[in-house]
Structure 1
């Protein structure tokens, strides 16, 4: 991650932090929905929002693309580079699980119920269309060997409607008839 800040932007950036008794440097500016600080810069008339902890780290050390920063203090607005460790998203999730910050309550139960319902539909030869959300028999879907149940995601009716809309609302027979009348008109002229 390469961030080129002007001296004015660097001064404005550092002015937004306040020291905490825990050793954290807490961001006092705008924050996103997860509590991470957001620092705004402008380039070529476009607003660019950067995460403050990533900027703080990048000002002191190199951060490679694809790396995430893991807070050792578990404090999202913290921008103290000593509290930030680069790693992968997998490392980040492992940290969250170790510290009890990853909420998974009910997730396995939900997945089991969802999978059981899908198995029951497949066994009964039924599937829910991804477009109209109506459960129909397998006969209402075109074959597709690459899908786990061997059927398309959309039912035949929804596929036909989508194709009709793409053609401007005309059926294939209407388009053929229109093509014939144009040719007939050319021959007669």
Structure 2
């Protein structure tokens, strides 16, 4: 069954029984800071978010990440050594169905940072295939790196 839930901002959220069941397991002080996005199914944290978009929640004198709190309250404790991955790619989402515990490496490899793109694509963003692995473990396009060094050298010479 789909329910119409009036929101404090005058809008109405459409939620199903599964959403109601999951949200009802969380404390009112927490759920009052959550808005359900009917289009995406995300339960978006509307209170304070850090610079990366992750919600934070005060639990006594301790700050906790809202998505981790929601997962542990609704599903189970997060196993040691694992982190929570947002399957929806929305860092403010606290919907336990959009969260999955994974290793830090798996979480990184699912992301979109430049080195992950290089790893999956086998070429840099410019299309060069001359990729090498730096001593730090980073993947570097030799062609782009040589261009950056030339430009830096030219700027220093001109100054």
> What is the TM-score when the length of structure 1 is the normalising length?
0.46
For the residue of structure 1 that corresponds to 2:97, the secondary structure is helix
Aligned-pair distance for 1:26?
0.1
Query: Deviation above 4 Å: which 4+ runs of structure 1?
Result: none
The equivalent residue for 1:108 is 140
Distance in 2, matches of 1:103 and 1:17, equals 32
For the residue of structure 2 that corresponds to 1:108, the secondary structure is strand
Q: Deviations over 1:78-108 (max 9, x none)?
A: 0000000111001101111xxxx21347972
- 5+ unaligned residues in a row in structure 1: which ranges? 1-8, 114-189
The equivalent residue for 1:51 is 65
Answer yes or no: is 1:35 the counterpart of 2:53: yes
Aligned-pair distance for 1:109?
5.0
Distance in 2, matches of 1:64 and 1:13, equals 23
Aligned-pair distance for 1:64?
1.4
> What is the TM-score when the length of structure 2 is the normalising length?
0.55
- 5+ unaligned residues in a row in structure 2: which ranges? 1-25, 116-123, 126-138, 147-159
Q: Deviations over 1:28-78 (max 9, x none)?
A: 010111100000122xxxx21100000000001221122101111000000
Distance in 2, matches of 1:19 and 1:74, equals 16
The equivalent residue for 2:95 is 80
Distance in 1, matches of 2:86 and 2:59, equals 24
Superposed CA RMSD: 2.5
Greater helix percent: which structure? 1
**Structure with max Cα Rg:** 1
Distance in 2, matches of 1:48 and 1:33, equals 19
Distance in 2, matches of 1:24 and 1:34, equals 17
